[in-house]
Structure 1
Amino acid sequence: MQQTAKRQPQAITISNGGLTATLMQLGAMLCDLRLEGCDHSLVLGWRDPAEYLRKDEYLGPIVGRCANRISSGAYHLNGETFHLNRNFRDRHCLHGGQDGASTQLWKVEHCSATSVTFTLHLPDGHMGFGGDLFVSARYSVENPAVLRLEIEAHSDSATVCNFAPHWYFNLNGGGDITGHKLEIAANRYLPVDDDLIPSGNPTPVQGTEFDFRTPRMVGDFPFDHNFCISDQRTPEKPVAVLESPLSGVRMALSSTEPGLQVYSGTHLNHLERETLSGEPYVPYSGLALEPQGWPDAPNNPSYPSVILRAGERYLHISRLSFNRSAHHNG
C-alpha cells in the first residue's frame, strides 16, 4: 500500500499571465493547459491522475531517451550493436522502450509559482541503450500566454538522445481536430512503410497531403509522419501554427528541433475513461505535434544526428505561444 502511495501522481500547477499549466512527476507530464477566457483544457488528459499509471497511451509526457521509432530495435555506435526493447509491434523500439522516460517518476528539482524543473537518470543499459544519461526538463509559463519547455541532458559516454513532448492538442476542448487549421514550416517530409519506419529520403511536400506551408484544415488523413523542419538542431525557430476557427484559439509552436512528428490520433479509443473534456477520446480527438529529431536517425547517417557524446550538452527548447480572437466566448 505504501509503495502505491509513493507512485500516486501529484499535480503541480504553474501560472503566469493568461496561462496555467498542470504538470506531474510521472513522465514529466503536461496534463492540463488552460488559457484565460476559455472554459476548457487545450490538451488531452485524464480527469483522475491515477489513470496516468496505465501505460497504454502517451497523453502528455516527455518521451525518450529516443523519441519515435528505431527500426528493428537496434542501432550501431562506436563499433558496438545495441539491442533495444521492442515495444512497437514486437519488432521496433518506440519512444525509448516500454519503460522509457514517459513511465518514470521524475524528481522535482525546483518549483516556483511560474516554473518547475524535473530531473531523471537513465542508467547505462536501460531499455538496451548505452550510456548513463542525466536529463532535466524545465517548464515555465511566461507572460502573456507562453509555455516554454527546456530539456537538457548529458552523458558519461556516447549515447542516443532525442527527447520530445508528446502533447495532444484540441483547441476546442472537445469534438475532433479535423477542422483545426494547421501551418508547418517544412517543405519536405519522411515517407514511411507499413510499420511507420521511414522508408527513404525526405520527399517534397508539394502536391501531397503533407503540404501545410500555407494554413489549411487538418482533415481526416491519418498523419503519423515526420516533417523535416531543418537538417540539424538550430536556434529556436517558428515550426507550426495551429488554430481553431471555432474557439478562436491560436497556438504558435517554435523549437530548436529538426523534425516535427505530426500524429492525428487515429488510434485514440477510450470510451469508458474519464477525460478532461468529459467526452470519450476517439480517433481524431487530439492532434499530437512533437518537436524532435527525425525518426530512426541512429540507423540513417544522412539524417540529423541524435548522438550525444561525452562532454556535450543536449539542449531542446520548445515554446507554445497562445492568443485568442476577441469575438469568441467560452
Structure 2
Amino acid sequence: MGDAIELAAGDYRAAVGRRGAAMCRLAYGGQELIWRVPPDEPPPASHGLLLAPWPNRIRDGRYTFKGVERQLEVTEPRRGTALHGLAYAKPWLPVEIGSDRTRLTCELDGSDPGYPYRLELTADYELDAADGLTATLGARNTGDAPAPYGMGAHPFVSVAAPMDDAVLKLPASRRLPVDGRLLPSGAPEPVEGTEHDFRTPRPIGATAFDTAFTGLERDADGRAWTVVASGGTSVGVWGDASCGWLQVFSAEGLPEELNRRGLAVEPMTCPPDAFNSGTDLTVLEPGERTSSRFGIMRLAQAG
C-alpha cells in the first residue's frame, strides 16, 4: 500500500493515505468492505476522501459570509461548482501511528482562494475488532475571525455485481430536490411513496442515486445507520448526531469496472451549498472547536 498507514484489529485491516487523510482500504477477513485504492493515486469519484471545510457543492464557487462575497476555485467545471472542500488535496501530517489507530493533522492557513480562514484539522482513525473503523474529524479556528465550516466523508461501500440485487436500508425520511447541476432546487421532500424510500430494507433495483437525504432515524447512541447487504455480507455506515445529512451516490457514469459497483454513503453535517443557504452551517468563532464521528463495520447478519 505504498506510503499508507496500515491498521489492524482482529479480522479487520485498514489503510489511510497521508494525502487528504483518505480511507484507502477497509477489509474484514480478507473481504474488501470499501473500494481498495493505492494511496499515491487520485481516488476514483472522490472515494475515501474527507470533505472539509465544506462537503458537496457550492454554486459557482461563490458565497457571502459576514457581508463579504468570496470566490472559491471552481473545481467541478462542467457544473460550475466548488466541490468537496479543500482538505482532500492537502498533505496531512501523522502525529500518532499505532497498530490500530492513527492521528493526522492538516492546517488551512487562509491562503486558499475564497477561504481566508485559518483552521487546524485533525483526523483520528481507530480500528476495533468488534466495531470496525471509527473516524473523528475535528476542526479548530486558529484565526482571528469567524469561519464557515461543514464536513463530510466519501466512502464507497463495495457492492457485488449486479447492484440491482443489493439490499439497502436508508434511515432517511426526506430527500433534497436538486437541479441539473445537482444543486438544491427546493426544500427537503418526504420520501414516502417514492423510489427513494428505503427505510424498510429492499433491493436497490434500477434506482439511481446522487441524492442528499435528511430526517435521519437514529439509534440509542445517536447514530444514523445505512446498511448495504451484497454478496452475502452486510456493511453498516453510521454518522453521529452532528451528521444531519447523508449523500448517497450509486456510481453511475464511472468507468465500466466501477459503474454501479459501489454505493457512496456520505455522512455530512450540512447539505449541498450550505455556504449560501446557511442550512446547518457551523460558524466557528476564533478558538472554537467542533468534531464529528462516523464509522464503517461489517455486520454479523446479512440482509
- TM-score norm. by structure 2 comes to 0.89
Where structure 2 has 5 or more consecutive residues not aligned to the other structure, the ranges are none
* Cα gap change, 1:169 to 1:266, in 2 (>3 Å): same
CA distance in 1, matches of 2:58, 2:14: 31
Does residue 201 of structure 1 match 2:178?
no
Where structure 1 has 5 or more consecutive residues not aligned to the other structure, the ranges are 1-7, 272-279
Does residue 300 of structure 1 match 2:293?
no
Secondary structure of 1:126's aligned partner: coil
CA distance in 2, matches of 1:211, 1:119: 38
Deviation at 1:224, TM superposition (A): 0.8
Deviation at 1:22, TM superposition (A): 1.1
Matches within 5 A, 1:186-225: 186-225=172-211
Does residue 177 of structure 1 match 2:163?
yes
CA distance in 1, matches of 2:280, 2:238: 20
* Cα gap change, 1:55 to 1:85, in 2 (>3 Å): farther
Secondary structure of 2:60's aligned partner: helix
Residue equivalent to 1:289: 265
Matches within 5 A, 1:30-45: 30-36=23-29, 39-45=30-36
* Cα gap change, 1:34 to 1:104, in 2 (>3 Å): same
CA distance in 2, matches of 1:9, 1:121: 24
Does residue 107 of structure 1 match 2:93?
yes
Residue equivalent to 2:151: 163
CA distance in 2, matches of 1:56, 1:126: 24
Residue equivalent to 1:15: 8
Does residue 320 of structure 1 match 2:296?
yes
* Cα gap change, 1:60 to 1:122, in 2 (>3 Å): same
Residue equivalent to 2:225: 239
* Cα gap change, 1:238 to 1:49, in 2 (>3 Å): closer
Does residue 255 of structure 1 match 2:233?
no
CA distance in 2, matches of 1:149, 1:250: 16
Secondary structure of 1:299's aligned partner: helix
Deviation at 1:117, TM superposition (A): 0.7
Contact persistence 2:16–2:25 (CA under 8 A): yes
Contact persistence 2:75–2:83 (CA under 8 A): yes
Residue equivalent to 1:92: 81
Deviation at 1:135, TM superposition (A): 0.3
CA distance in 2, matches of 1:64, 1:95: 7
- TM-score norm. by structure 1 comes to 0.82
Matches within 5 A, 1:125-164: 125-155=111-141, 156=143, 157-164=145-152
Q: Percent identity?
A: 28
- Count of aligned pairs: 294
Secondary structure of 1:128's aligned partner: coil
CA distance in 1, matches of 2:272, 2:171: 18
* Cα gap change, 1:218 to 1:125, in 2 (>3 Å): farther
Does residue 71 of structure 1 match 2:59?
yes
